[in-house]
Structure 1
Amino acid sequence: MPYDLHLKDPLTEQRLFRNRMLVALVGVAVLLGVLVARFYNLQVVNYNSYATQSDQNRIQVRPVPPTRGLIYDRNGTLLADNRPSYTLAVVRERVKDMDATLEFLGRLVQLDDSDVEKFRRRLQHRRPFEPVPLRFRLSEEEIARVSVNEFRLPGVSVEAELVRYYPLGDLFAHSVGYVGRINDRELQRFTAEDVRRYRGTESIGKVGLERSYEDMLLGEVGYENVETNARGRVLRVLERHNPKPGADLTLSLDAQLQKTASDALGDRRGAVVAIDVKTGGVLAFVSKPSFDPNLFVTGISFNDYRALSDSLDVPLFNRALQGQYPPGSTLKPMMGLGGLAEGVITPESTVNDPGFFMLPNDTRRYRDWKRWGHGKHVDLNQAITESCDVYFYDMASRWNIDAMHDIATRFGLGAKTGIDLPAERPGLFPSREWKRGARGLPWFPGDSLNAVLGQGFVLATPLQLAVMTATMANRGTHYKPQVVKAINGVELPPQVLHHVEAKPANWDAIFKGMESVINRGTGRKVGEGLDFQVAGKSGTAQVVGIAQGERYDSEALKERHRDHALFVAFAPADNPQIAVSVLVENGEHGGSVAGPVAREVFLDWMSRKHSETAQGKVKKEGAERG
């Protein structure tokens, strides 16, 4: 059977190959066209968009927080510093499983529930790819654990930052204050500009000068463009705009005098305020008990805060600025000056003091602190020296409350002093209008008798009493109290608010009485051993009322129900330089308890001033001989 033979047809195969080649070339050309079109779309049409996305994956804009301004005392002692600290931070966009990451980190470092809760709140208020702090102040061991496990923790980093530190601890807690982490309430009050200014910063001034000078201390935030790898680690800095550091503050406060006043007050509750008579600068500002402000800087623990807030001694309460106490007899020199100016009394006016005073047509007896009285012919000098209540009762009964209110307000009572510290309370010096508005009652003659002795409705802060005493020492020049002396080395000028007018003879009469308080009156312990003259006045303020006819019995009262002890003074009496007010809660005796505290302040300040003056004279004489 013959085979069916097929011979090659070169022409047919060539035609078939050519057709296939054409189809392949067309296909390749179409694919190349699509590819070129795609490349054109990516590289030309959408270049800017994709370049930006690429840069966002590779380059991040990070805020550079400014260095917070430093705070010094008048002699250059550092009161508020910035120290390096290491913070555990997380970039949310780099973390695939946040819960698992937090759980793993909890095995490497100590994380409280509060740390995690605060971290989750911070996540809601941050920019994309911005590191969010999880734990502050890592130890070296914790840093090492995180570094060893770095490959397991994409998006997690340990970052160095400067945090606030207060070298002297509790000594300036109520004046310098402290910073703390920005909370939700503060964030809600932030404007768009605030959000920009605090970018990269976790802290804000909470109390004291840290709060009132926040805008100056903060500085201006900077920015830097950094290149990162796929894990978010910074490879290099491409561009940087440096931040502007905050302003440095120099205070009128003196660290040594502050410690002297604090030590003199001891463990007792109270306050001490010292003011430079010539400028109004605050030299010492003590409130005790106090607290360590460093506890608040990176977030205080629940146990620490509870211990402070639940304490019966309320260490967080600023007694010098916010404590409103009856000023007692410390007002008598000021009231005596007002009585002289109004012609109600003269330096020679006398009263008979049998131990009590009675208003006309009134059976009530307003008792003197001395039950048997101060004698039949008590004049102004004796009334101030021995703190005779009856003399001032008699003066108040013949005086107008409106005039009393006027002289008190001109010396700074019943209103905020304007000091450059936040949260000051105004105290109270009552008037007819105040009582009718607050109590719905008219003003009674007995109210005037209470007011002239700094009792009844009258309330004052230790700061106000120091301002009153400094105004007295200045013979009427009323300076605004100022804690900050200079900003970035530029001194702030003293501010005179007004002048209290009085005849020189009237000032002399009051000064003479205040000097007698120290020489032979209730403040004798203050002047012992001093080589300069002090002028002062003691005071005792009731905490609980005593029924008519009953005597004050210290032993029968609880310690916190006993009278407060107060003392105000200035020195030297012939050329005043420093005015001091002292309050000792439940100290009972102004002259013997509060007075010695003022004495230590005077002794420290005047001894150093005398030494500086002597050194200055030696240098001057040496320069002249040279």
Structure 2
Amino acid sequence: MRKHRDTLKNPEQEVRIFRNRSLLAALVVILMSGGLVARLVYLQIFQHEVYTTRSESNRVRVEPLPPTRGLIYDRNGVLLAENQPTYNLTIVRERVDDLDKTLALLIDILKLPEDQVATFMERSRQRQRPYQPALLMSELTEKQIARLAVNRYRLPGIEVEAQLLRHYPDAEFMSHVLGYVGRINAEELAQLDTGDYAGTHFIGKTGIEREYEEILHGEVGLRRVETNARGRVLRELGRTDPAPGSDLTLTIDKDLQRLGYELLDGRRGSIVAIEPSTGDILAMVSSPGFNTNPFVTGISYDAYQALRNDPDLPLYNRAVRGQYPPASTVKPYMALAGLANGVITPQDRIYDPGYYKLPDHPRHYNNWKRWGHGWVDLHRAIVVSNDTYFYDLAHKLGIDRLSDFMKRFGFGIDTSYDVFGASDGLMPSREWKQGRYGQAWFPGETLSVGIGQGYWLATPLQMATAMSMLANRGDWVTPHLAKRIGGEPVNPPPALEGIELENENWWDLVFKALEDVMTGYEGTARGSGEGLTYRMAGKSGTAQVFTLDNDQRYNAAELEERLHDHALFSAFAPIEDPQIAVAVIVENAGGGSSHAAPLAREMLDAWLLPGDAVNESPDTQPPEATTEEPQPHESA
């Protein structure tokens, strides 16, 4: 029996097992305690700064302070773009527990109409930087602010912010010059510097607002605030004030700009005026315009579609993007090209039977006066706007010399300094046609270019710039819109080299012809030159919208209005001391002498005779010219 018990129980083995288990348990306890101590050391010592910051963030918040946008003035200090106080509704999505529920509650509290709900929901989901407020609504009413205040406890992450909102007092006739600011979209957000635009909801979209965005925006500031558990601000702990954007003074004269817009009277067209000695753009009108203020807070879909689908294209800036055949307004530059290249002299004459024929070619290129002007020299060719003379001159020059010389006047090139969206226009050449169409240049195409038709396209800004350079006798001054940034003047460098003629008297010959256009007995615009008290140089043009066969005649009465010719006119004055150069285009109005020249005369009177013409009603009927110059409607 005793032997059996010894077999069942082995005390030594049990003691050994107990000791091993005790050692293992002690080792586990030591390792776990060491791990806890090491973790405590890591958290308390090595990660002290990190967790201190996180702890502070639970009650201390850093908020961006958006800068005040710089103001915009005209050349006389008249305010064109201001900032008005308003209340905005913003949301920080990361602080909202249930976004859909919160948005539904907001819609109910604010009593939003059905047509605004979709836009409201779309804005709530637009891409935004983490923990940055996203703009939901602008211009809250007092009643809406009161309702939000009462329900404040139910709306974590929702704030009502007092901010300054952009406003344009003269939105319609300044729309294309100033442009407008609008909400920052997702594409812009991805490209902007996070720090520079923290807390900023708006950015320049078009016009001067976009061209000088960096200067007008300013620098963002910061403030540290203490908040409670619900995120409500209790007190401010410190701040770095934002730096406001610089104010901008434009070269634009508001009164002249308004007059130009009123003269166009809703018709499709443009008027650009430049001060030749400085390049200051005094007026840059595109008609019709539009109200830019709804774009700031967010224009409705229906209102935007109405603007986009308007056949008169009010959103289109005709002054800098509209491209038109410059027509007979180019004839003064053609005359100088012929003289400078030695292919004509002032005394050379040709006989005009009413048409021009290329050597060994049967086609007739018609003069606007079908029975012709008889014998014409350089002076008379400009005065009566004879096409036959300039067909012949263009043929003698050839497209290469013609194109090269016209580029020196700024045609086919964007020479502006700070005009947003300005087009290059088109100055055709042999190389251009080969590259564009893969075709050779034909002599007949040169003839069309010689009277400002064919492939040649120019913007009103380019036409005014060329006339300004002519007034300066070839000295180049870059057109620009900014006159001062803050208190510092803007002096843009020349975009092109000037033009020096072999004989300086050639300028006077052309000026005399342009003066006789206004006052001579054969002048095409003499009706608009009546009663002049200063010396005015001008040239009309009538640009065709479509081409007719050689045996057809243009009859406006048989055509719909949008197929009528465009009316153009370019001018400067006074001849002895040019102070203003103007280009006018009225789409589908007909002859330039009758429909564009009177508008140019009004603009010059307003600038040169202040008090006499500025306050005159634009409804006054202008005098009719007795000589017209419709284009011959030739195809190239």
Q: SS where residue 243 of structure 1 aligns?
A: coil
Unaligned runs of 5+ in 1: 1-36, 612-626
Residues 421-436 of structure 1 mapped to structure 2, 5 A cutoff: 421-436=419-434
1:400 and 2:402 are equivalent in the alignment: no
Residue in 2 that maps onto 1:592: 594
The answer to whether the 8 A contact 2:605-2:612 is kept is: no
Residues 35-434 of structure 1 mapped to structure 2, 5 A cutoff: 45=45, 48-109=49-110, 110=112, 111-122=116-127, 125-128=128-131, 130-190=132-192, 194-375=193-374, 377-434=375-432
Residue in 2 that maps onto 1:460: 458
1:44 Cα shift?
A: 5.5
1:41 Cα shift?
A: 7.8
Residues in 2 aligned to 1:324 and 1:584: alpha-carbon distance in whole angstroms? 13
Residues in 2 aligned to 1:610 and 1:411: alpha-carbon distance in whole angstroms? 33
Residues in 1 aligned to 2:133 and 2:339: alpha-carbon distance in whole angstroms? 69
The two structures, once aligned, show a CA RMSD in angstroms of 2.1
1:506 and 2:511 are equivalent in the alignment: no
Q: SS where residue 600 of structure 2 aligns?
A: helix
Residues in 2 aligned to 1:525 and 1:180: alpha-carbon distance in whole angstroms? 46
Unaligned runs of 5+ in 2: 1-36, 614-636
Residues in 2 aligned to 1:340 and 1:413: alpha-carbon distance in whole angstroms? 19
1:432 Cα shift?
A: 1.2
The answer to whether the 8 A contact 1:42-1:50 is kept is: no
Counterpart of 1:126 in structure 2: which amino acid?
Answer: R
1:267 Cα shift?
A: 1.5
1:493 Cα shift?
A: 2.1
Counterpart of 2:253 in structure 1: which amino acid?
Answer: D
Residues in 2 aligned to 1:430 and 1:132: alpha-carbon distance in whole angstroms? 49
CA-to-aligned-CA distance 1:273-303 (integer Å, 9 cap, x gap): 0000101110000001111111111222101
Residue in 2 that maps onto 1:490: 488
Q: SS where residue 497 of structure 2 aligns?
A: strand
CA-to-aligned-CA distance 1:463-517 (integer Å, 9 cap, x gap): 0000100000000012111100111111112533321111221111100110011
Residues in 2 aligned to 1:525 and 1:185: alpha-carbon distance in whole angstroms? 54
Residues in 2 aligned to 1:189 and 1:556: alpha-carbon distance in whole angstroms? 53
Counterpart of 2:377 in structure 1: which amino acid?
Answer: D
**Bigger shift: 327-336 or 422-431?**
422-431
Misfit runs of 4+, over 4 Å: 40-47
Residues in 2 aligned to 1:610 and 1:270: alpha-carbon distance in whole angstroms? 25
Residues in 1 aligned to 2:137 and 2:262: alpha-carbon distance in whole angstroms? 37
Residues in 1 aligned to 2:390 and 2:93: alpha-carbon distance in whole angstroms? 72
Q: SS where residue 194 of structure 2 aligns?
A: helix
Counterpart of 2:205 in structure 1: which amino acid?
Answer: K
CA-to-aligned-CA distance 1:326-366 (integer Å, 9 cap, x gap): 00000000000111111211111111111111111111000
Residues in 1 aligned to 2:538 and 2:43: alpha-carbon distance in whole angstroms? 86
Q: SS where residue 550 of structure 1 aligns?
A: coil
The answer to whether the 8 A contact 1:179-1:296 is kept is: yes
TM-score, structure 1 normalization: 0.88
Q: SS where residue 545 of structure 2 aligns?
A: coil
Residue in 2 that maps onto 1:607: 609
TM-score, structure 2 normalization: 0.87
**Bigger shift: 168-177 or 575-584?**
168-177
CA-to-aligned-CA distance 1:361-400 (integer Å, 9 cap, x gap): 111000000011112x211111111100011112122222
Q: SS where residue 186 of structure 1 aligns?
A: helix
Q: SS where residue 508 of structure 2 aligns?
A: helix
Counterpart of 1:427 in structure 2: which amino acid?
Answer: G
The answer to whether the 8 A contact 2:94-2:130 is kept is: no
The answer to whether the 8 A contact 1:223-1:242 is kept is: yes
Residues in 1 aligned to 2:395 and 2:50: alpha-carbon distance in whole angstroms? 87
Residue in 1 that maps onto 2:623: none
Residues in 2 aligned to 1:156 and 1:441: alpha-carbon distance in whole angstroms? 64
Residues in 2 aligned to 1:207 and 1:155: alpha-carbon distance in whole angstroms? 33
1:437 and 2:435 are equivalent in the alignment: yes
Residues in 1 aligned to 2:65 and 2:317: alpha-carbon distance in whole angstroms? 35
Counterpart of 1:119 in structure 2: which amino acid?
Answer: S
1:569 Cα shift?
A: 0.2
The answer to whether the 8 A contact 1:519-1:527 is kept is: yes
Alignment partner of 2:552 out of 550, 553, 557: 550
Counterpart of 2:516 in structure 1: which amino acid?
Answer: S
Structure 1 vs Structure 2: percent identity of aligned residues? 50
1:457 Cα shift?
A: 0.7
The answer to whether the 8 A contact 1:538-1:566 is kept is: yes
1:140 Cα shift?
A: 1.4
CA-to-aligned-CA distance 1:592-615 (integer Å, 9 cap, x gap): 10111111111111113999xxxx
The answer to whether the 8 A contact 1:479-1:498 is kept is: no
The answer to whether the 8 A contact 1:178-1:293 is kept is: yes
The answer to whether the 8 A contact 2:417-2:492 is kept is: no
Residues in 2 aligned to 1:59 and 1:443: alpha-carbon distance in whole angstroms? 73
The answer to whether the 8 A contact 1:526-1:596 is kept is: yes
Residues in 1 aligned to 2:339 and 2:82: alpha-carbon distance in whole angstroms? 51
Aligned pair count reads 570
CA-to-aligned-CA distance 1:244-263 (integer Å, 9 cap, x gap): 11111111110001011111
